[in-house]
Each structure stands twice: as C-alpha cells, then as structure tokens.
Amino acid sequence: MRNIIKDKKGQATFGIFNWMIVAFLTVVFFAGLIYAMGLITGVLHQVGLENDKYAGQPTWTNMTLAADQTFGELNDSIQALRMVALVYILGLAVVVIVGNALMKIHPIYFFAYILVCLLAVIFSVPISNAYETLLNSPIYDGLLNSFTASNWILLNLPIITMFISVFGGIFLFINIIRTGNEGSGIWNTK
C-alpha cells in the first residue's frame, strides 16, 4: 500500500481540473435526475387520474394514491439533491486543498504549479460560459435556476478556481519547511 501512495507523483495540481469538471457535471446530472423524477411523478399521477373514471368497479385500483405515496414521496425527497450538489462541490474543493496540504513537493515545482493553476483558471472560463448558456436555455424547463448556490459557484468558476489554487498552493508549499524526519520517533512503526 505504501508503494501505491508513493507512485502518485504529478497529481498535486490536477485535482483542480477534476474539481471544475465534476462541479459542472454534478449540477447538470442532479438537475436531470430531479427533472426526470418530476416527469415520472406527473405521468404516473395523470395515469392514476385517468384510471379514476373506473372507480367503484371490482377491478379498480386507486393508482393516484399509489403514485402519490411512492413516486410522489420519492420526488419530494429527491429535491434535496440541490443541497447535495453544493455540499459535494464544496467538499471536493476542501479535498483538493487538504490533499495539497498532505503532499510534500520540491520547491522547484513552484513555477510549474503556478503555470498549471493559471491554465486551470483559463480552462474554467469556457466551463463557466457553457454553464451560463445552459442556465439561460430552456433545458430542464428552467430547473437549473433553482440551484442557487451551485449556480453562483459555477458562474464565478474562474475566481473560485483561482482561490482554490492559491490556497492549495499555500498549503502545498508550506510543507517545504518540514525537515523530512517527521516519521522518526516513538510513533514510528517501522
């Protein structure tokens, strides 16, 4: 296990790219799930209403009640994906920063880190613009507008990416001060 972790070099700065892409996809995917569940619930409720004209006959089943108690409840609970998207985006940003804090990297890579972070900020502009285009389009019947906090993050993605990169860089290169013998002492199990 120790060798697997050691072989992960070169991935310190690419977490920010993963964060940007996953943030975009999370909001779009969760909005699609909420929209699809709303459509399914509406169709099943409508089928139940159509079936109600046979009420009182021996083979009649109250499908409206069944649809409301199953898919209606599921539709109500899936609305929480708006908050889940926000927590997932912020949690992944914290993982990028903490992941950088736990790495030890040679100071010579500082300029390479700055260049990759600059590239991440430049790459975040088209993602933010694409999301704004999706937000202004009638996709999902305007459901994306209800993701208020996630919308703010994705619409300001270049600025947020810059802050995550800067804080990640601070924590990444603060580890330069370590002397390298942190593992020695009474707690070392070697």
Domain ranges for the chain:
13-177
Q: Decide if pLDDT at 119 tops 50.
A: yes
Q: Which two tokens stand for residue 29?
A: 């995917």
- Burial of 12 per CB tally in 10 Å (0-12, 13-18, 19+): buried
Note the pLDDT tens digit of each residue in 58-94.
777 788 888 888 888 998 899 999 999 999 999 999 9
Amino acid 188: pLDDT:
47
Amino acid 109: pLDDT:
82
- Please provide the average confidence, as pLDDT, over all residues in the chain: 84
Low-confidence winner among 41-55, 139-153, 170-184 (lowest mean pLDDT): 170-184
User: How far apart are the C-alpha atoms of 20 and 170, rounded to whole Å?
Assistant: 19
Q: Decide if pLDDT at 155 tops 70.
A: yes
Q: Decide if pLDDT at 19 tops 80.
A: yes
Note the pLDDT tens digit of each residue in 99-116.
888 877 777 888 888 999
Amino acid 180: pLDDT:
56
Amino acid 179: pLDDT:
53
Pick from 120, 125, 154, 113: nearest CA to 31: 154
* pTM, entire model: 0.79
Q: Which two tokens stand for residue 142?
A: 């305007």
